[in-house]
Structure 1
């Protein structure tokens, strides 16, 4: 098929014309794009307001009793203990060293290590090993007023046989999601590295990067897609002109594309949104290509296929704006999941080894500003009835800003086009605070055998260093709630007169 990129050359030049005047801090690395303004109060004529416009946040983190009313005392104890371990850098460093060492190659030691991991971090961050076991986890979070993003946690496959097996796992996830109550599962999540060999993704990314450098470079296999790069995108991975795909590589590419389309078709048939996770920049162009080309085929009336934007990348704003505006101009309701990012250390090391600046923002405040700007842009789009947005954040300020913005632009409670999300086992206070404010909130629920989920757990351990603020708040509030419940229990045992409302030993109720 002839190469055709669905993009407008005028989009980047016209960015200023559709971005509102701003006053929030922005990354200096993206000069062409002004940051969006969370304080901007749009004209809501014709838009039904769910709440009056004020400058106060709708989120309440002060009432720990209300926040954790749906959480059992046992769950609070275990969560508090696991978060305490995860926040101990010495413990995390030792655990990561063990999991990356040859100790795991010794059968007896491996069994002992995996058993320990399963009873600690795996139990805390994952929904168990099988769909049937994950169903119990989903039931618990649904009772707490939350939903689940179902994640069959496989990735980085090297051959077609492994890709075929992983596809079956993803298809079963969709079947599993459809068998559950409609309100319990918000989406299924997949990684392209699980259904397309990793080496082929690198080759495709190289070819896409070179074509962006040289538009005359022909890619006869390329399908219709949205813009993937901007002038600020990291292109240093491809310093030399790559060879064309071999016949075998083209055949493997076709097989990978057919796997994704089979998954998309099932999701569209069952009306279960599919979120494609982002990965590192060496292969992200190919992931975006797969995502956007399938979205063009299956996003007809509502977003079924969601791409992921990592806000810690310097080109994140421009890539989001270009893709969203192009999709909108073509009548394609594109969905996006917005995250901060998960590969900061490896990205910086690789860029440095090649003599280039890191593609990641130079400071955390630039990342925060980028996330907030992208969120504001997409919230305006959702309020106007376009696209879909999953705001995946553990940052309290970002959560508060987005909640206020959503309320101010008239996004009603229960709007299916907006979902907040946090990792299972993390940022419980933010999840429950958003839930109490009336927003749809999902927990990212990976499941699968412990050894298969290990790469995910190692990233959680590494990323937790940057999530200590939300983890600390959770532990503080959990500690206060546990003390409150202990005092009530002691009061009940003392034989003193109970209040008129009655006294009971709590298992989560206030």
Structure 2
């Protein structure tokens, strides 16, 4: 299957983009392809926002509008509707990062519950999503992961994190919406995994409602998955996993070096790719027990998943098997999958411009470090520009 060019159809890939949006995308990816520019741009943006300089309009009309759905969920709805008409589902992601106050964590959890209820009657929105550190301080997750004792105040904060995880999982269960929980750095992840495991055991009795995320650049994730599978079979509940390659590569390797422990990250890009495909194959072989959301911008892994679906006679309409990409990226994969009838969703970040900037900056930095990703985007945008001029 990988010899076929399913993802080369740019007319399908960019059918929702006007000519001016196509030009903006081309301009943005040209900028992102130059690493020094990204470094300077992100530094200047942080500086301007911290000083409250009037740059929000510029950010909004360029990078924000390309990678985000809007400042609130209502803003996102025209995009959600257009995507649904094109056979693509939406995952609205309230992408506010870096908060530190208990009231802010409560507000984020309430927002996710609200979004889950909002999605309940919308066929176009079968998922809710959140990031663990949106619900509590990184340090608390880290201390729990490192099995360090918590102070009385910290223990109370941990109990609040547990409560937030539970309230959002219960809302997803009540609304019949799937809940995707993101993964973060390895030195806080055990605590987040523990909470995801608890939620799965509680709410995934009949089917996967709660999904944890496996970052497959970590070489230990296949063993972790197999162990969790045994536990779930013994406990009589289902598992749900979103699989991704991973988003904190440099930080992970730097910290391992600095602290003198073996890096949890695979030794090469090829090892990561192989690990991702192996994890995917394992889950697809056990779909009766484990539901899968394949979060990837990698064409070869997507082809492999399609191939395995054929081999294993997994129907394109099977609700236990999903694909997903980020809004503003890899439209050639998303829209062509949608056109072929696969279950595919776009992660659509939204939130106030200033609050979403940490997410956007991370996205730009990641793009510069993924060899080939940006040049592939550029070549497809170029191809579509030429097609439209003919």
Q: Which of 192, 205, 210 is matched with 1:287 structurally?
A: 192
* Matching residue of 1:259: 164
**1:280-319 to 2 correspondences below 5 Å:** 280-319=185-224
Q: Which of 254, 278, 301 is matched with 1:373 structurally?
A: 278
Greater share of residues in helix: 2
Work out whether 1:93 is the aligned partner of 2:32.
no
* Matching residue of 1:439: 342
Q: Alpha-carbon deviations, 1:199-219, whole Å to 9, x = none?
A: 221221111xxxxxxxxxxxx
Q: Which of 130, 134, 141 is matched with 2:83 structurally?
A: 141
Q: Which of 127, 134, 145 is matched with 1:194 structurally?
A: 134
Q: Which of 364, 369, 374 is matched with 1:471 structurally?
A: 374
Please tell me whether the aligned partners of residues 34 and 368 of structure 2 are also in contact (alpha carbons under 8 angstroms). Answer: no
* Matching residue of 2:265: 360
Q: Which of 376, 392, 400 is matched with 2:303 structurally?
A: 400
Q: Alpha-carbon deviations, 1:153-210, whole Å to 9, x = none?
A: 123432322211111211221122224x31x113111012111222221221111xxx
Please tell me whether the aligned partners of residues 212 and 240 of structure 2 are also in contact (alpha carbons under 8 angstroms). Answer: yes
* Matching residue of 1:164: 106
Work out the CA distance in 1 between the residues paired with 2:276 and 2:350. Answer: 27
* Matching residue of 2:69: 127
Unmatched segments (≥5 aa) in structure 1: 1-54, 208-241, 488-510
Q: Alpha-carbon deviations, 1:214-266, whole Å to 9, x = none?
A: xxxxxxxxxxxxxxxxxxxxxxxxxxxx3x33333322222221121111111
Q: Which of 400, 403, 421 is matched with 2:324 structurally?
A: 421
Please tell me whether the aligned partners of residues 434 and 441 of structure 1 are also in contact (alpha carbons under 8 angstroms). Answer: yes
Cα distance, 1:352–1:191 mapped onto 2, change above 3 Å: same
Alpha-carbon RMSD: 1.9
Cα distance, 1:249–1:61 mapped onto 2, change above 3 Å: closer
Work out whether 1:387 is the aligned partner of 2:290.
yes
Work out the CA distance in 2 between the residues paired with 1:484 and 1:161. Answer: 51
Work out the CA distance in 1 between the residues paired with 2:310 and 2:165. Answer: 36
Work out the CA distance in 1 between the residues paired with 2:90 and 2:8. Answer: 25
* TM-score of the pair, normalised by structure 2: 0.94
Work out the CA distance in 2 between the residues paired with 1:132 and 1:164. Answer: 21
Work out the CA distance in 2 between the residues paired with 1:186 and 1:473. Answer: 29
* TM-score of the pair, normalised by structure 1: 0.73
Between structure 1 and structure 2, the one with the greater Rg is 1
Q: Alpha-carbon deviations, 1:56-90, whole Å to 9, x = none?
A: 66761343334444544343232222222222222
Q: CA deviation at 1:343?
A: 0.5
* Matching residue of 1:105: 50
Give SS of 1:361's match.
coil
Unmatched segments (≥5 aa) in structure 2: none
Residue-pair matches, total: 390
Q: Which of 185, 192, 205 is matched with 2:125 structurally?
A: 185
Q: CA deviation at 1:418?
A: 0.7
* Matching residue of 1:450: 353
Please tell me whether the aligned partners of residues 57 and 400 of structure 1 are also in contact (alpha carbons under 8 angstroms). Answer: no
Work out the CA distance in 1 between the residues paired with 2:311 and 2:18. Answer: 34
* Matching residue of 1:218: none
Please tell me whether the aligned partners of residues 157 and 195 of structure 1 are also in contact (alpha carbons under 8 angstroms). Answer: no
Work out the CA distance in 2 between the residues paired with 1:176 and 1:85. Answer: 36
